[in-house]
Chains A and B, each alone.
Chain A
Amino acid sequence: MEKILFLAHTQDDGTLPNVAREALAAAVDLTQKIPGSSLSVGLIGQEAKPAADAVAACGAARFLAVTGTEFAASRYASDVAAVEALVSEAQATLIVAPATIRFSRALPGAAQRLQGRIETHVSGLDVVDGAPQIQRWYYRQRMVATLARSQRPWFLVVDAGVFPPWQGAPGAAALDNVAVALPENCTRTRVVGIQSPAVKTQTIRPDAEVLFVAGAGWTKKQADGQLHIKEAEGLILGFLQQCNASLGSSKSLVDQSVEGEAVLSFMSHLNQVGQTGSTPRHPKGLATCCHGEEPHAVGWRFINERRAINTDPNCGWAQGKADVLYVADAFQVMAKVNDLLGG
């Protein structure tokens, strides 16, 4: 019999992030499929009542929370202490949590402290013969494994976009506060703020419908033998604005900034998609001036519909990595696309 704990932290406004509702849906599904299992909810944050009430109808037997000013900020030491207390109070054997940055930092330490094990980037959950098994990717989305574990507690950190968010009517949850006394060494770190990267424009939009990826070709000499950096910036920003798209980049383009070459002013390493960058989830992706080499294309694993514009008909995108490859000059095409979107 599994004791399942859905674990989440609140946002600044006291609500749960969308990815937490997705993880809750996974936890509820697991509870329904594993015979004799029970579900508890564990919340961390400055205040947890609004979040607990929002998911009151999820079928959990218990609602637990660690709350207070010290648990408002995303900090390893206090988060691990809170998770440890919640898992111990719930006597949980399976912990299902969303893959937020805050939990990605803290849950591995909590698993270690509780002598448990952890699987991150969970992209599938199933129950076979009454036991849970998970799916996750290895080698940066190059191969997918299905596995089960004997050790407990077992932390399952569910990636965003894998499950539909849990939907249910709000109610009044009976919330039990779990007291956690933080030792002095848990408050050596202070979170002092949030900072945008040193670029002109915020271009990363995880919830966008479209991922627009710019490759190094935008900053290379064009057919006239000249660089057209400003024009490239205008075309890319114009598209992002009109399409509300998120901006990704190949490694070669963002590396140019540290190598002192001409760069797009709004591009940073945070935009990088691929082997050493992110693997975002968007319904559509449009790659431009990028060759679609394997280390970059592995970052496109979770982009459903893929199109690319490149002047080379033999580029990587043509090798079964994109649905459509337009052999054309991206400067010309994107200028026309922007015209049409603006019209």
Chain B
Amino acid sequence: MNGGFHIVVCGSVVPDPLQTLAPIEGPTGPALKNELMLPAVLDPWAGHALYEAAHLAKNTPGSKVWLVSLGPKAKLQQLMMTIAQKVSFELVVLDGPSGGFSDASEVAAALAGAIDKIPDLDRSRLLLFGGCASASRDAGVTMQMVGERLGISDQFLGVDELTVEADGALKILERIEGGQYQVSVCAGAPAVLAWATGNLPEPPNNPQIGMMNMRTVMPALQRAQPAPVGAEGVSWRGVDLPQQRRQTRIVKDLSVEEIAREIVAWLKG
């Protein structure tokens, strides 16, 4: 690839999966109880996309990675304390809600607008990365909408592997039904890749990378543009927690054979 890729990763914060979540009625629609107090993490699939982007940039000279995040500025600042130590990137911040009840279309418009304004971004070398779905809205639609707004007609969803061929073509493995992969070859950038888990482990913290990133992270946070996304046109009729508690029967006193017989009877029943 001549000159490397310009890789833009879209990713934001979500509540730590270990937290208990409860919906409340907010002034503009549903929200999470104590949303701003909940510990937050980088959206897991977006995290995989970021690690894959950094890996690709490292192995493709001349490449650069941007992380475009839409979320509450204070939360993003906290997040950067950990993420910025893992991989090199330049941060672009949109200060707005990161909750799941905002509309993907409005989020996509804000993200596409921010990407469009990135100085020196070469759209002919652009690889737009993100998660295949968020852990909040879990719609799996935002990346395609951002790509469409940016006029990118080669898009891939649920990507686990990207290989850059000698001629610059992109060989991509996407998850499909039945635990298989669809293998596609794209002529090259620009393209949208919405990642599943990929194949890389979470990088270890590296304080040197952290210090390097922080030189641009803090100014980016200060320059954050407000992005008041919502869900215009949506009428919420209710948001409820499911009746998830079951009356668990705890079986402690049966022998292995008795347990096995009970399980087999249940399976065949």
Contact = CB atoms under 8 A, between A and B. Distances in A.
A313 B250 contact: yes
A166 interface: no
B199 A146 contact: no
A237 interface: no
Contacts of B34: none
Contact of B183 (A186, A193, A294, A332): A193
B144 interface: yes
A162 interface: no
B263 A276 contact: no
Contacts of B148: 80, 108-109, 112-113
A320 interface: yes
A326 B263 contact: yes
Interface string B141-185: 110110111000111111010000000000001111111111111
Nearest to B177: A101
B contact patch SS? mixed
B256 interface: yes
- For chain A, the bracket of interface size reads 35 or more
Given A105-B155, A194-B183, A325-B251, A145 B21 contact: no
Interface stretch (B67-75, B102-110, B122-130, B205-213): B102-110
A191 B183 contact: yes
B75 to A, nearest CB: 16
Interface stretch (A25-33, A135-143, A223-231): A135-143
Contact of A326 (B142, B156, B185, B251): B251
A127 interface: no
A120 B133 CA distance: 11
A326 B200 contact: no
Given A109-B145, A204-B178, A326-B251, A188 B234 contact: no
* Residue of A194, A203, A270 contacting most chain B CB atoms (<10 Å): A270
Nearest to B181: A195
A192 B184 contact: yes
Contact of A323 (B140, B155, B246): B246
B100 A139 contact: yes
Interface string B113-145: 000000000000000000000011111111011
A333 B176 contact: no
B3 interface: no
* Residue of A140, A196, A294, A323 contacting most chain B CB atoms (<10 Å): A140
Contact of B248 (A322, A333, A339): A322
Contacts of A210: 267
A192 B183 contact: yes
Contacts of A192: 183-185
B233 interface: yes
A146 B29 CA distance: 12
A320 B248 contact: yes
Given A189-B154, A194-B183, A118 B141 contact: yes
A195 B154 contact: no
Contact of B259 (A142, A276, A323, A333): A333
B237 A146 contact: yes
Contacts of B174: 101, 105
B215 interface: no
A174 B113 CA distance: 44
Contacts, number: 273
Contacts of A80: 148, 153
B187 interface: yes
B248 A319 contact: yes
Contact of B233 (A74, A111, A151, A326): A151
B254 to A, nearest CB: 7
B37 interface: no
Interface string A260-278: 0000000011111001100
Contacts of B254: 326, 328
A220 interface: no
Interface in B189-217: 196-197, 199-201
Contacts of A104: 140, 157
A144 B138 contact: no
B176 A74 contact: yes
Nearest to A182: B153
B58 to A, nearest CB: 17
A109 B155 contact: yes
* Residue of B158, B240, B256 contacting most chain A CB atoms (<10 Å): B256
Interface in A292-340: 293-295, 298, 301, 305-307, 309, 313, 317-329, 332-333, 336-337, 339-340
Nearest to B14: A139
Interface string B238-263: 11111011111111101011011111
Contacts of B2: none
27 contacts: A76-B154, A80-B148, A104-B157, A105-B156, A105-B158, A108-B104, A108-B145, A109-B145, A109-B148, A138-B100, A143-B23, A145-B236, A148-B237, A185-B153, A192-B185, A195-B181, A197-B180, A204-B179, A243-B267, A275-B44, A284-B267, A294-B18, A317-B248, A321-B248, A328-B259, A337-B263, A341-B264
Q: Give 8 nearest A-B pairs by CB, closest first.
A: A204-B179, A108-B141, A320-B245, A336-B260, A108-B144, A295-B17, A105-B157, A146-B237
Given A77-B154, A192-B185, 4 more contacts: A101-B177, A138-B136, A276-B135, A328-B254
